[in-house]
Structure 1
């Protein structure tokens, strides 16, 4: 392992009249002998504690050190070699935080937790929070909210592993550029104003005590670098976590969160962009939409002849709402059963008793009230389907426009990685039916989970991985689609099921085949 911190076993002779070397110098000499590194340092705030622990242990045990690139830095001392050396990895998301506890000696995951981001009280989206940060003490409030969240998660993780948060010896995190600025107390003012420049893209390693993080005070903190205001460390961590940066054949990483972010490329080049497809595909637009969690409908099937509907929920809980993957499944199944036309409009005559009017809004009843988890029917409005159609059109337009920029076609791709909870639960076949994803063999699509967190884990356990992230940052080219006329043209063409050009989706039944 090449983790951020390591334990080095040392055994030094005790002080004597013939060897009056100072305690800390004695320890440095032992670490120098054990590691072969000449430059051994110890930060001033840690000197007294480290030297005292070394003496209390009888001048033998294990020094916890960090490789600075120019030598070793001693940050703590144990009386014996630890069986585990815990570190924390964090996905610093806009709406949710997810973290895991990792043994830096073995790389094994020890615990995992997630929670809603407390910053949500200051604004549901990034732009609102940026404006909030510009008020008096606004930035400080955003910072305190995130620090408090991280401290709570550290305590939770440590408790699950039978430890205390002060035992955590390192923290690695990946988040978008704005979230990183909020955490570090850096002004995001210029990020949303032309020419959109952040305060910093690369953050030097600092200490837990610098931010008031309640893990080991001398624990090193690593933050994934960004490329710019709209391309953050979460995406760079994701690129390297799914090895897109090593691929000979071009591939894609599609990460659907607050936005839909797409990276195209391989070992020689990387091209990236973002689009506003995320909220509907996360289930965040539909009135009864919800994130992928217990009670969320994630799978739907409809018999095209009998119109019988079956569904499943995450965790097998009674239905509370529908998440993005469930909404995609539902719309695709409704189209194949003749309940939606090519515009995504309801065909009431084929929906029977499942078609209802709610305050003059046409609705489709997915789950009757007596079968749901809250006693109310789970319904999807026509407006929800409309939002989904816009989102899926944006997604397809993003993918096709990005390929067009480099003269490639979908058939040139060896692999499409679909990240996040969206990627975990989505059925690519149903996404193809809707025209959200290209009509390719299903083995091209790979759900890769939370690549931001996976990247943070690998970053604190492998220094080579951290270097790969830095290398990838230098290779990324970001393109802005909001001013791209080709994107707008492709978006208009994709606002039908599956598309205005049905020849792009040969595996999807034609409209006349589903209108029964």
Structure 2
């Protein structure tokens, strides 16, 4: 065995000779970003060897000669052979909690929040929890009245509350003898009524605690996880928490995680990462912030894409990625919190919102509920721009949906200087039309570390308008600026931030390869929209509103997204950002049994379009792999902008 010290965390671990360095870090809970899950394609898992020797295959374009001399290696392509001291790049250790994540806390979110509640109420639905609490003062046992404790409770519920059939599970039964006597037979029960005369007890407490009833809504994203603690009486949000999804260390997208799940103990590691390393810490933080005991949490609703739902439950997911792409379940049964070791009352039922297909999950079902498409007279397009790209189109009469193979580009994946939306990420960019010097906004006003999804959209749009790239995404070789340069393979790049100017380790650049990767991602979304409409014999003019959901939406410039051909060229006032619609849908499901039933109803009626086999989709995708599109007539606004910029440069 050899000793390895990871800096700056100052963590010492032991490893066997010949072990893979990335796997050593994963096993010991040390986060090293590896979007491609060790496939050698992303180059994000760079670490520096401070002391010691490793077995590293330096033949990789991600490690430049200068970096190699400075001790940098790719953790995924490195074997440990002797004692080591390793430096993990700054920010990696705090990356999980430093991400900019969409929740329900901002002023705009409060308006969205109220709009979603009103949608439920205005459609005649009740807005109250299905979980009930009742205070009982039970007759004391005597020699004359000597029935069992459990029968005594059932008798009281039958006589006082009208429940002729009362159920509980073994954990509740075990609490009864001591709890009744400690409370002098004055207790509060938490129960789930089913019909007029049936109920199931899921918690018992000493005394009158009927004023405390809590639930949790949880959005499990591929990249990030957001949660809120809810007062089930008033529907108030008492606390919120969010972080990166700890599964990120096993790959940036669902395909990489599915593949990892097929490896030895891979599924167990992924399930442990989402429950014990991500969800439970968030729950503990909320409980502490709100002064709530975990045993008081008796309702739990979660949503995620289909893969995330499978991994949460520890269900083998590999058939999701294999034709004909069949999930193990669409709607999961209610599951006890204790079965998953969640930090909540052990008897709490976890409800997971149903999926539509292998790549359209419960997060989209939740988004449809929260957005109100199901009740709309207008034709509404819902686009979720997370790690996976999902689209829904319809109104109260029909709903069709599809999933786009956009990959992780919108989260900064597959981009050399791309990163997720965290401190140091460039999120907004403008480029001067004459000097080609950029101005940008950085999250938390830190030194720039990379570019997140919204920043990449801005950057490519600005490069197109200023003539830095042509419509194929190729860098202009005739411009006189030190911000354009070419490597030994004649691949061009544009320098967004010089290292000497900002005091950072490396220049922040975007290459022609990066631009090509992003063009393919945006083309997947645009062609998905076009194909979905074509399947209905409709066109872009028939869209009344476009709702943008997902973390990228909060900082996304709609005009720039149109300029690169991500969204169709329609009126700006038709676009609306609706925040974390998945978390909002979970909240509505938590608070309204009527809303849950409505959601289950329309989820069964949604039509799924499999793009990979849809006639004409590939032609549509290839046509969209230009800026903004091969058919510029589809983007008259963009055509006019490009002409104006070209004229200004000529002058």
**How far did 1:254 drift?**
0.7
Partner of 2:403: 274
Query: What are the residue-to-residue correspondences of 1:473-488 with 2, within 5 Å?
Result: 473-488=603-618
| 1:385 pairs with one of 515, 520, 525 | 515
CA–CA separation in structure 2 for the residues paired with 1:473 and 1:482: 22
| 2:438 pairs with one of 289, 299, 309 | 309
**How far did 1:341 drift?**
2.0
Partner of 2:351: 222
| 1:127 pairs with one of 238, 245, 255 | 255
Partner of 1:71: 198
Partner of 1:418: 548
Partner of 1:94: 222
**How far did 1:318 drift?**
2.5
Q: Is the 8 A contact 1:250 1:264 kept in 2?
A: yes
What are the superposed Cα offsets for residues 34-84 of structure 1, whole Å, 9 maximum, x if unpaired? Answer: 655443322222123155434432333432112345732111123223544
Cα 1:342–1:469 change in 2 (3 A) is same
CA–CA separation in structure 2 for the residues paired with 1:357 and 1:50: 75
The answer on 1:495 being equivalent to 2:625 is yes
Q: For 1:200, what is the secondary structure of its paired residue?
A: coil
Q: For 1:407, what is the secondary structure of its paired residue?
A: coil
| 2:362 pairs with one of 228, 233, 252 | 233
**How far did 1:470 drift?**
0.7
The answer on 1:435 being equivalent to 2:435 is no
Q: Is the 8 A contact 1:8 1:34 kept in 2?
A: no
Q: Is the 8 A contact 2:253 2:407 kept in 1?
A: no
Q: Is the 8 A contact 2:384 2:548 kept in 1?
A: yes
Cα 1:194–1:496 change in 2 (3 A) is closer
Q: For 2:613, what is the secondary structure of its paired residue?
A: coil
What are the superposed Cα offsets for residues 201-259 of structure 1, whole Å, 9 maximum, x if unpaired? Answer: 22121211122223211111111112232222121111112112111222111112222
Q: For 2:419, what is the secondary structure of its paired residue?
A: coil
CA–CA separation in structure 1 for the residues paired with 2:177 and 2:154: 10
The answer on 1:513 being equivalent to 2:621 is no
Partner of 2:333: 204
Q: For 2:509, what is the secondary structure of its paired residue?
A: strand
Cα 1:135–1:55 change in 2 (3 A) is same
**How far did 1:415 drift?**
1.5
CA–CA separation in structure 2 for the residues paired with 1:373 and 1:83: 55
CA–CA separation in structure 2 for the residues paired with 1:300 and 1:410: 28
| 1:376 pairs with one of 501, 506, 522 | 506
After TM superposition, the structure 1 stretch with the greater mean CA deviation from structure 2, 29-38 or 281-290, is 29-38
After TM superposition, the structure 1 stretch with the greater mean CA deviation from structure 2, 148-157 or 235-244, is 148-157
Partner of 1:190: 319
After TM superposition, the structure 1 stretch with the greater mean CA deviation from structure 2, 202-211 or 494-503, is 494-503
**How far did 1:126 drift?**
2.6
Q: Is the 8 A contact 1:256 1:278 kept in 2?
A: no
Cα 1:338–1:128 change in 2 (3 A) is closer
- After TM superposition, the runs of 4+ consecutive aligned structure 1 residues lying more than 6 A away are none
Partner of 1:354: 483
Q: Is the 8 A contact 1:27 1:54 kept in 2?
A: no
Q: Is the 8 A contact 1:493 1:500 kept in 2?
A: yes
Cα 1:495–1:130 change in 2 (3 A) is closer
Partner of 1:325: 454
The answer on 1:139 being equivalent to 2:267 is yes
What are the superposed Cα offsets for residues 157-190 of structure 1, whole Å, 9 maximum, x if unpaired? Answer: 2222234444432221111222222222323243
Q: For 1:248, what is the secondary structure of its paired residue?
A: coil
Cα 1:304–1:193 change in 2 (3 A) is closer
CA–CA separation in structure 2 for the residues paired with 1:179 and 1:34: 44
The answer on 1:286 being equivalent to 2:415 is yes
Q: For 1:290, what is the secondary structure of its paired residue?
A: coil
Cα 1:345–1:162 change in 2 (3 A) is same
Cα 1:509–1:227 change in 2 (3 A) is closer
Q: Is the 8 A contact 1:155 1:164 kept in 2?
A: no
After TM superposition, the structure 1 stretch with the greater mean CA deviation from structure 2, 10-19 or 41-50, is 10-19
Partner of 1:262: 391
**How many equivalent pairs are there?**
516
Q: Is the 8 A contact 1:75 1:218 kept in 2?
A: yes
The answer on 1:461 being equivalent to 2:591 is yes
Q: Is the 8 A contact 2:519 2:625 kept in 1?
A: yes
What are the superposed Cα offsets for residues 257-308 of structure 1, whole Å, 9 maximum, x if unpaired? Answer: 2221111112221111111124222221211111122221111123334545
Q: For 1:449, what is the secondary structure of its paired residue?
A: coil
Cα 1:130–1:330 change in 2 (3 A) is closer
5+ residue gaps, structure 2, are 1-126
Cα 1:199–1:394 change in 2 (3 A) is closer
Q: For 1:112, what is the secondary structure of its paired residue?
A: strand
Cα 1:174–1:307 change in 2 (3 A) is same
Q: Is the 8 A contact 2:428 2:440 kept in 1?
A: yes
**How far did 1:475 drift?**
1.0
**RMSD of the alignment, in Å?**
2.5
Partner of 1:107: 235
Cα 1:192–1:311 change in 2 (3 A) is closer
Cα 1:134–1:362 change in 2 (3 A) is closer
CA–CA separation in structure 1 for the residues paired with 2:159 and 2:320: 48
CA–CA separation in structure 2 for the residues paired with 1:371 and 1:63: 64
After TM superposition, the structure 1 stretch with the greater mean CA deviation from structure 2, 264-273 or 486-495, is 486-495
